[in-house]
A and B are shown apart, each in its own frame.
Chain A
Amino acid sequence: MPKILLEAQDIHVNYGAIQALAGFSLKLMENEIVSVIGANGAGKSTFMNALMGMVKVSKGDIFLDGYPLSSKNYKVVRSGLALVPEGRRVFAPLTVEENLRIGAFTRKETADLQEDYDWVFSLFPILKERLNQYAGTLSGGEQQMLAIARALMARPRVLLLDEPSLGLAPIIIREIFRELKRVNEQGVSILLVEQNARQALLLSHRAYVLQTGRLLKEGLSKDLLEDKDIKAAYLGQSA
């Protein structure tokens, strides 16, 4: 029986009078890849931000290893969650190397980061070539790779990705998703939110479908890929 790593129960988030999440629950097992798919405005990013302590949860609980997760952003990172934010958000005026170093901010000051650099360079070799370049000069795909590598420098137990495929060419998306699979095989659990439902379902083991802040459907990704309604609504195929 696989162990539950991260569990969100009945999460509610309000922006003023608008209810962005109305009781969404999710489980992430150890070594699992879970995706959350849904249309624009379904509450996917809000859910990620709620987990990270970036928005206030008005009701609901979040547990990591069965213990309540802090609602303070920096403490969440320290307990082992790292988010690759929507739109990459690399630090443009800093070099690639500095971006990676700030990613390791929560690590012990004395920690030897060489192994981590080697790890992220093995995933995305282009970053090693760009090491002393300003992050703002990288292409979109390279920036996404940097954003992922930066999050991995924190040695997270759960890697969260918010729309990693946004605005990228299909060939780059495939490359990035292939490397995410390798990251997962090395023991990092992954929680992914995507509008690109096909890519997300192909990568993940299980998936949740979110619609206007509520769960519409959940199941094994391979089943959802064959699901009539999902095909029609999210995969751009007629039933």
Chain B
Amino acid sequence: MAFTFSTFIQQVINGLSLGSVYALIAVGYSLVYSILLFSNFAHGGFLVVGGYACYYLLTQWGYGVSVSMFGALIASGITAVITERLAYKPIRERTSLTLYLLIASMGVNIIIENLFVVTVGGRIRALPQNTFPTGVFSLWGGVTLSASDILSLVTAVIFLGLLQVFLNRTRWGLAIRAAACDIRTAGLMGVNVTFLISLVFFVAGVLAAVGGIFLSVRYSLYPQLGSITTKAFIAAVIGGLGSLPGAVVGSLILGLAEMLTAGFISSQMRDLVVYSLLVIMLLIRPAGFFGKEISEKI
């Protein structure tokens, strides 16, 4: 494939659009990690709940796009809170070893995935054509910009901006930042830590649902869609687990790397490049770009 400037621009646009969806998912991962210090692999499950909730609200119950999206965000947020209460809280109360939480989260992911397989079936679905604007704008030299690219970028910026405002300007946001530093001492400040953890899971679930809806628009909807969060997880690791700016930067790097590889080398090499990036990062800078040094975490 020859290098052309227009291909480059096209793939940068595609990469940013994909990266912005990864960012929504990766930030949720990182937020949970920053508080409880484990990688919540059930995050992919929350995303699938969001995707299906949006699908059924739109197609079966006939709600409009905004109501369906809102319903999907709430459904996913509540799923995340229930998961924490049922699967993680009992473990947290018995041990401080986060490995058990990690294993439980993998189990929850399998449960959610298979709940959808047995109830609605494993077949691939697509959100109705007219759900989101489908226009395509032609820029110069054959470069195109689709409305859904713009929408996913704008939505990601809005949601990440809202999260930033929440964390930096509100009482509970401050409590979350304090808990990310030292959860026990946050409790000493009179913060109800149980509620705080539920709140963090709710926010992570909502962000996952936004990502899930955009992923089902971009690709399609199926019970294993959550496995794509592996990419968001890698993005969070590259950026530095527990760091929200890191998660965003890592996601954009990953989105760009994937799309530039697809544009200039081959689409099949995408995952190879992604995993190579992860390996190189872990060798050179295991804590990621913005991560705390490992010694600080212990």
Contacts and interface: CB of A to CB of B under 8 A. Distances in A.
A73 interface: yes
Contacts of B147: none
Contacts of A154: 189-190
Contacts of A101: 174
Contact of B187 (A74, A78, A92, A103): A74
A98 B188 contact: no
B189 A105 contact: yes
Interface stretch (B25-33, B175-183, B229-237): B175-183
A103 B181 contact: no
B171 A77 contact: no
Contacts of A180: none
B57 interface: no
Contact of A102 (B175, B184, B192, B193): B175
Contact of A94 (B177, B192, B193): B177
A73 B181 contact: no
Contacts of A105: 171, 174-175, 189-191
Interface in A80-138: 82-83, 85, 89, 91-94, 98, 101-103, 105-106, 109
Contacts, number: 59
Interface size class of chain A, counting residues whose CB lies under 8 Å from the partner chain: 20 to 34
B31 to A, nearest CB: 15
A26 interface: no
A166 interface: no
A164 to B, nearest CB: 15
B187 A94 contact: no
A54 interface: yes
Contacts of B164: none
A201 interface: no
B185 interface: yes
A52 interface: yes
Given A101-B174, A102-B174, A94 B190 contact: no
A92 B181 contact: yes
Interface size class of chain B, counting residues whose CB lies under 8 Å from the partner chain: 10 to 19
A74 B193 CA distance: 8
A54 B188 CA distance: 8
Contacts of B193: 73-74
Given A94-B177, A102-B178, A109-B171, A54 B184 contact: yes
B126 to A, nearest CB: 44
Residue among A73, A109, A150 having the largest count of chain B Cβ atoms under 10 Å = A73
Residue among A74, A77, A83 having the largest count of chain B Cβ atoms under 10 Å = A74
Given A54-B187, A101-B174, A102-B175, A74 B192 contact: yes
Contacts of A52: 188
B189 A94 contact: no
Nearest to B196: A74
A94 B181 contact: yes
A230 B188 CA distance: 32
Nearest to A73: B187
Contacts of B192: 74
B210 interface: no
Interface string A39-62: 000000000000010100000000
B186 interface: yes
A82 B190 CA distance: 9
Residue among B177, B178, B188 having the largest count of chain A Cβ atoms under 10 Å = B188
Contacts of A78: 190
Interface string A11-27: 00000000000000000
A72 to B, nearest CB: 8
Nearest to A153: B189
Residue among A77, A105, A150 having the largest count of chain B Cβ atoms under 10 Å = A105
Interface in B40-67: none
Residue among B177, B185, B189 having the largest count of chain A Cβ atoms under 10 Å = B189
Contacts of B181: 91-94
Contacts of A93: 177, 181
Interface in A140-176: 150, 154
Contacts of A77: 188-190
B186 to A, nearest CB: 7
Interface string B227-260: 0000000000000000000000000000000000
A91 B190 contact: no
Given A92-B181, A105-B174, 6 more contacts: A52-B188, A89-B182, A94-B174, A102-B186, A105-B191, A106-B190
20 contacts: A52-B188, A54-B187, A77-B189, A78-B190, A85-B185, A89-B184, A89-B185, A89-B188, A91-B178, A92-B181, A93-B177, A94-B174, A94-B177, A98-B177, A102-B189, A105-B175, A105-B189, A106-B189, A106-B190, A109-B171
- Name the 5 nearest CB pairs between A and B, nearest first: A77-B190, A106-B190, A89-B185, A74-B192, A91-B181
